Amino acid sequence: MRRKVTVVGAGMTGGTIAQRLAETGYIDVVMIDIIEGLPQGKALDLAQSAPVIGFDARIIGTNDWKETAGSDVVVVTSGVPRKPGMTREELLNTNAAIVRDVCQRAIEHSPDAIFVMFANPMDAMCHVAKEVTGLPRWRIVGQGGMLDSARYRTFIAWEVGCSVEDVHAYVLGGHTEATMVPIVSTAMVAGIPLAHLLPKERIEAVVQRTRQGGAEIVSLLKTGSAFYAPAAATQAMVEAILLDKKRILPCCAYLEGEYGITGAFTGVPVRLGAGGVEAIYEAPLTLDELEGLRRAADAVKELVALVR
């Protein structure tokens, strides 16, 4: 039996997420957007690729929330995208109003869904979703750590000159340039500590490029932001939930004492499965890395306090 996923927002990110999910063959996808014709056109185009690619998923584009009823997972990408020079924080209240509305509508039609948040600023939008839906913390998870970790692993592989498949490294903390924490102490290449392969200054260059990863793409594109890597990261999270994979992934979760943090969505290693965030793992971090996580949590709390 195919599962059902609603993707809120049919822009470049939402459309690419819908494509990756539909091409699995076991997920029916609903794309919903306020712009009339946009989700319908993309859904029709995507459906017509099925005979070539070879998948049988049903793809619906709609402006009507009734079409989303009974979704197993709701992926929220809607919001105003960043422009060059704009920080995620500047998007705060515009996107908070959008996320508040879509989450309220989504939960009305899919009361059992798990929410995967991608709207920016992602950490704060997780709080908005939790407040609006009233869901337990296990059923709301933010995507940022997956994307930032993918960028970190890519840059490490390029610097070392190895396959990305052999790089194991996490970015924890926040999903902003100032609050993300690329973890160096446990970063490995085929089981070899990164510090044994690269000098300190090259590691710091990789860390800095990771922090600027999203802004670098925004600057190059001039209009819009990244969508290929975000879509791949989201697909991995959704599949971990729908297939009950129990994957340990860097995601934004609501902490209640873990890492000495309470009451804030923060990027940490979590076990994703059918229940959503089924466990939160406390990794062995250096004091500087732990402090980075706590600063990220404090920054999210300050941001949430500004939400109107």
The residue among 143, 165, 193 that closes a domain is: 143
Tell whether the model's pLDDT for residue 79 goes beyond 90: no
> Looking at the structure, do residues 123 and 186 belong to the same domain, yes or no?
no
Catalytic-labelled residue, pool 127, 168, 175, 196? 175
Q: What is the mean pLDDT of residues 220-240?
A: 95
Neighbouring residues of 55: CB distance < 8 A, sequence distance ≥ 6: 22, 23, 24, 25
Asked whether the predicted pLDDT for residue 88 surpasses 70, the reply is: no
* pLDDT tens-place string over residues 144-190: 899 999 999 999 999 999 999 999 999 999 998 999 999 999 999 99
| 103 and 219 housed in the same domain | no
The tens digit of pLDDT for each residue in 245-286 reads 999 999 999 999 999 999 999 999 999 999 999 999 999 999
User: Is 175 in the active site?
Assistant: yes
The last residue of one of the domains, among 104, 127, 143, is 143
E strand residue ranges, the chain:
3-8, 27-32, 59-62, 73-76, 114-117, 140-142, 167-168, 171-173, 180-182, 188-189, 192-193, 247-256, 262-273, 276-280
Query: Above pLDDT 90, what percent of the chain?
Result: 89
Number of domains within the chain? 2
244: CATH: 3.90.110.10
Same domain? 296 vs 194:
yes
Last residue of a domain, one of 143, 178, 208: 143
The answer on 224 and 250 residing in a single domain is yes
pTM for this one? Answer: 0.95
Tokens encoding 264: 């804030």
* Residue 89 pLDDT greater than 80, yes or no: no
